[in-house]
Amino acid sequence: MKILLENVTKIFPGRGKGAKEVRAVDNFNFEIPDGKLIGLLGPSGCGKSTTLNLLSGLLQPTEGKIFFGEDEVTNLPAEHRGVGLVFQNYALYPHLTVLQNITFPLENLKGDAKLTKEERVKRATEAAKLVQIENLMDRKPGELSGGQQQRVAIARALVKMTKVLLLDEPLSNLDARLRLQTREEIRRIQKETGITTIFVTHDQEEAMSISDMIVVMKDGLVHQIGKPQEVYDNPTNLFVAKFLGTPPINVFAGKIEDGALYVGEDKLFDVSVDVKPGDVYVGIRPEGFVLQADGPLHCSLSRVEVMGRDMSVVAGHPAFLDASIRAIIASENLAEISGDAVNFDVKPGKVLVFDKETEERILI
């Protein structure tokens, strides 16, 4: 099911005297295509859960409209929207078995939607198979691991066979390995069922790895929407550039002068004559450095961390704006590094320039 947000704003009133109101979601306009997995990504407090709750019907927007397919659902109560919801805290019923937890949303269906007990068990078994817990149906939540509990929560959201699945940081309570495994499983289930899914996370790697499209948010505003790789390669501003990628992009103070791009006093390369001269931020992705003895970027060498196939060259530069530069280089080049200095050339496609005032991207 296609989802459309039209000028959607949610303002929470300030609590207490003189408290300021919060624009948790500020004028959202975007369309979520049918059958895709969308990663809603941004730092804590940026309005992700609020957006999800507006879509689920648990919250009403202050302004704007929400459409599911052709139907407006802005004021439709949550129970009539046909969405499956999974939260960070799975909130299973501890005294019910896995089977009873999964069939719970089917118990009180009315009229045409009413199901017999056999039908309910059949649906629950199908959902349980999708998340591979069909052999745990008689257990209670207390007898399951965190990962298994989260799968029960996902099965419970799937059992209604809704057209939309909303997941709010569903993996944050799992350990690293299980998180990786479960996110791949969510992707597989989403592809198998074709259910339009919105996956909320503050973890950029998680969002990038499984989403068809990511929506990057900050302070209630959408900063960029696109395919993960496109957003990584072409961020619209410094915030998006810094938010995506591990290790993060390396940001330097620079300038455009006499038709060339400088980092501090080092001239990196010539740019189009049309680019306005002035102070800029220069972002270089870790994979954008090339070891070169007479390269234009003159850095001090702190240390080298070899990590199998790659090594991380940790370096310094007078114009660098953070703790230390991290360049990712194939470890076979280790022999080229010695002493306390290192020079780099850069791959122009991995160098991103931003206006110093607005922090918007400048195309060079």
Can you give the binding site for ligand ADP, defined by CB under 6 A? Answer: 12, 22, 24, 42, 44-50
Pick 49 or 148: Cβ nearer Mg ion: 49
Shorter beta-carbon distance to ligand ADP: residue 24 or 137: 24
| Interaction partner, residue 22 (ligand ADP, Mg ion, none; CB < 5-8 Å by kind) | ligand ADP
**Tokens standing for residue 164:** 């939309």
Closer residue to ligand ADP (CB): 13 or 308 = 13
Give, as ranges, the residues between 26 and 85 that touch Mg ion (CB under 5 A).
Answer: 49
| CB burial of residue 118 (10 Å; 0-12, 13-18, 19+) | exposed
Looking at the Cβ atoms of 44 and 108, the one nearer to ligand ADP is 44
DSSP string, 92-122: --TTS-HHHHHHHHHHT--GGG---HHHHHH
The sign of the CA dihedral 317, 320, 326, 328 is negative
Picked from ligand ADP, Mg ion, none, the partner binding residue 45 (CB below 5 to 8 A depending on kind) is ligand ADP
Closest distance to ligand ADP from the beta carbon of 47 (Å): 4
Of 285, 282, 293, 283, the residue nearest 341 (C-alpha): 293
331 Cβ contact partners less than 8 Å away, ≥ 6 residues apart: 306, 307, 308, 309, 310, 311
Q: Which is nearer to ligand ADP, 167 or 351 (CB)?
A: 167
Q: Which does 218 bind (CB under 5 to 8 A by kind): Mg ion, ligand ADP, none?
A: none
Shortest separation between residue 48's beta carbon and ligand ADP, angstroms: 3
Distance CA 312, CA 286 (A): 9
Question: Whole-number minimum distance, CB 67 to Mg ion, in Å?
Answer: 24
Question: Which residues are at the interface with Mg ion (CB under 5 A)?
Answer: 49
